[in-house]
Amino acid sequence: MAIRVSVGQFRELHDEDLAFARQIGASGVGINKPNLDSPAWTALLGKQFPASAAPRAPMQRWEAMDLINIRTYVENAGLTLDCIEGVPRNFIEKAVLGLPGRDAQIENFHYTLRSMGRAGIRILGYNWIPDQVWRTTRSGVGRGGAKVTGYDHALAEPVRSGALPPQSEAQMWDNYSYFIRAVLPVAEEAGVTLALHPDDPPVPELDGVARIMRSPEAFARALAIGDSPNHGLNFCMGCFAEMGPTEVYEGLERFGRAGKLVYVHFRNVTGPLPCFAESFVDEGATDVVRCLKILRDVGFDGFLIDDHVPHMVGDTVWGHRGRAYATGYIKGMVRVLEALG
């Protein structure tokens, strides 16, 4: 078995984050939608700006030199930079919603892909979520009083904020096809693989906007439209378990056999829609050992990452305790499965 275990969701990176990742035995890290304009990244990347400079416009794309610096920083700590999980929303929001200005965003996305290739960062996660992950509570009560997020479709379904232009399912598919067909040739040329994450929650519509990446069939369609060796899935076990009782196993099997699992968000939830909450990896609706066996049997050779986890007593915002528990548990399962053959 060549399954690696990463830890991540880092919005910023500090020395202690990398030390912690090493301490819990991760082989690599993932970074999540980093805003390289933020003070922490500006300091890390050693950027200097003239004192008299006018306010800078928000960054629209990434530079190779910044990404090289980030990669080197991670590797100097004895870790690999396994992926960047998504670009900031302002890089692609017009493309997702099919708004004027999407072609400029696609041009910038090409530039970002080329920068990643030059920096040797080979995996870029992405999703087709029109705005953000939706939850109806961020203070749900999990095992032993752990703090978990939860979603109840009866509460979210009536929301009409008017924040987004309404989009039908057909429009969202059109927007998607336009984008993915434009970016994949550049991804291939740059040697970067795009990994698609589901809508979370995987419901047909929220706030007047269709959510299209919500079923195994949708992923098959997305991979057919974007047919490329440099395109696959960031298979989120939590989201697939939200779709239905067997989707997570069938999805791992189907897309694993097709060689389309780039990496896996290895997490658990209490059950499928219309109502679910996050849970610890060793409880919840999904038999995670069964999942790992499927990954082994299909010859998956990517990495697992904990995604988000319940917050434990005394935990930090990032969730050091919850993540240490999840990562240790996942590593233990992988080790046992390897030993048992």
Q: Tell me the closest approach of the beta carbon of residue 226 to Mn ion, in angstroms.
A: 19
Stretch (H or E) spanning 106: helix 102-119
Write out the DSSP string of 239-270.
HHHHH-SSHHHHHHHHHHHTT-EEEEE--EES
Q: Report how far residue 40's alpha carbon sits from residue 13's, in angstroms, rounded to the nearest whole number.
A: 8
Q: Tell me the closest approach of the beta carbon of residue 262 to Mn ion, in angstroms.
A: 13
- From the list 226, 141, 133, the residue with the least C-alpha distance to 177 is 226
Helices and strands per DSSP (H, E), number in the chain: 12, 14
Nearest to Mn ion of 94, 265 (CB atom): 265
Q: Tell me the closest approach of the beta carbon of residue 88 to Mn ion, in angstroms.
A: 17
Nearest to Mn ion of 186, 222 (CB atom): 222
Q: Tell me the closest approach of the beta carbon of residue 233 to Mn ion, in angstroms.
A: 11
Residues 207-236 within binding reach of Mn ion (CB under 5 A): 236
Exposed / middle / buried, residue 45 (Cβ in 10 Å: 0-12, 13-18, 19+): middle
CB 268 within 8 A of CB 292: no
Nearest to Mn ion of 40, 133 (CB atom): 133
Among 3-11, 71-79, 152-160, 304-312, the segment contacting Mn ion (CB under 5 A) = 304-312
Residues 131-170 within binding reach of Mn ion (CB under 5 A): none
Nearest to Mn ion of 110, 197 (CB atom): 197
What DSSP character marks residue 58?
A: P
Q: Mask of contacts with Mn ion, 260-279, x by CB under 5 A?
A: -----x--------------
CB 212 within 8 A of CB 251: no
User: Residue count at the site for Mn ion (CB under 5 A)?
Assistant: 3
Q: Tell me the closest approach of the beta carbon of residue 74 to Mn ion, in angstroms.
A: 21
Minimal CB distance residue for Mn ion: 236
| DSSP reduced 3-state for 7 | strand
Q: Tell me the closest approach of the beta carbon of residue 196 to Mn ion, in angstroms.
A: 11
Quick one: which of 307, 312, 322, 334 contacts Mn ion (CB under 5 A)?
Answer: 307
Q: Report how far residue 145's alpha carbon sits from residue 91's, in angstroms, rounded to the nearest whole number.
A: 38
Among 45-53, 127-135, 181-189, 301-309, the segment contacting Mn ion (CB under 5 A) = 301-309
Q: Tell me the closest approach of the beta carbon of residue 216 to Mn ion, in angstroms.
A: 16
Nearest to Mn ion of 117, 232 (CB atom): 232
Q: Report how far residue 102's alpha carbon sits from residue 94's, in angstroms, rounded to the nearest whole number.
A: 5
Write out the DSSP string of 160-175.
----S--B-HHHHHHH
CB 234 within 8 A of CB 263: yes
- From the list 205, 300, 227, the residue with the least C-alpha distance to 257 is 300
Nearest to Mn ion of 117, 150 (CB atom): 150
Residues 5-44 within binding reach of Mn ion (CB under 5 A): none
Nearest to Mn ion of 114, 265 (CB atom): 265
**Structure tokens of 111?**
């530039």
Nearest to Mn ion of 214, 265 (CB atom): 265
Nearest to Mn ion of 212, 236 (CB atom): 236
Q: Mask of contacts with Mn ion, 174-203, x by CB under 5 A?
A: ------------------------------
Strands 205-206 and 209-210, sheet pairing: antiparallel
Among 224-232, 242-250, 286-294, 306-314, the segment contacting Mn ion (CB under 5 A) = 306-314
**Interacting residues with Mn ion (CB under 5 A):** 236, 265, 307
